[in-house]
Amino acid sequence: DTRTAAAVACYRQSTFVMIKPDAMQRAGEVISRIEEIATLRIADMRLVALQPSMARLFYAEHSQRTFFEDLVSYVTSGPILAMRLVGPDAIKVWREALGPTDSNEARRSAPGSVRALFGTDKQRNAAHGSDSREAAGRELAFFFKDTVDGICSTSEPLTELSCL
């Protein structure tokens, strides 16, 4: 029936995760948190030096916010680790593991969460997770469009052209 079909579709849900520059020093610990969530599987992973033009595209929804240029500087301040996670309800499961956007708030309301453990404040919050299926599709295409079964199909570094 339709509920079974929905459950099957949901089982293979993908979400996009980024370990942001401030947490790269502890990337192993963030990955361990992912591994502790038994239903999530890391299906793809890529180390990326995000260029400012790409960061602006990735965060285009925030382009009118006062913090936009600070955000772009932050996510381009060092390499990031991009990942595709797959599993039942992966988008929601990972957003819950992340905790709220502000790491200080996360330490109050979600003490064991990734942002509570590895983030600093409202901006430097350690990691990203897609917030919807639409966002997951867009964000995964942005970082993994030129990969086939997790293997890079070109030897070119990730550029704006390969992610649009």
Do strands 80-86 and 127-129 pair parallel, antiparallel, or not at all (unpaired)? Answer: unpaired
CA distance 45 to 150: 7
- Considering CB distances under 5 to 8 angstroms, the limit depending on partner class, which of Mg ion, ligand GDP, none binds residue 101? ligand GDP
Between 6 and 141, CB nearer to ligand GDP: 141
Q: Which two tokens stand for residue 94?
A: 């990972």
Which residue's CB is nearer to ligand GDP, number 44 or number 139? 139
State how far the alpha carbon of 141 is from the alpha carbons of 9, 71, 138, in Å.
19, 21, 5
Q: Is 128 a catalytic residue?
A: yes
Question: Is there a binding annotation on residue 122?
Answer: no
95 is in an annotated binding site: yes
Name residues contacting Mg ion, limited to 122-141 (CB under 5 A).
Answer: 131
Least Å distance between CB 43 and ligand GDP?
Answer: 21
Nearest to 130 by CA among 95, 79, 81, 78: 95
List, by residue number, the catalytic residues. Answer: 128
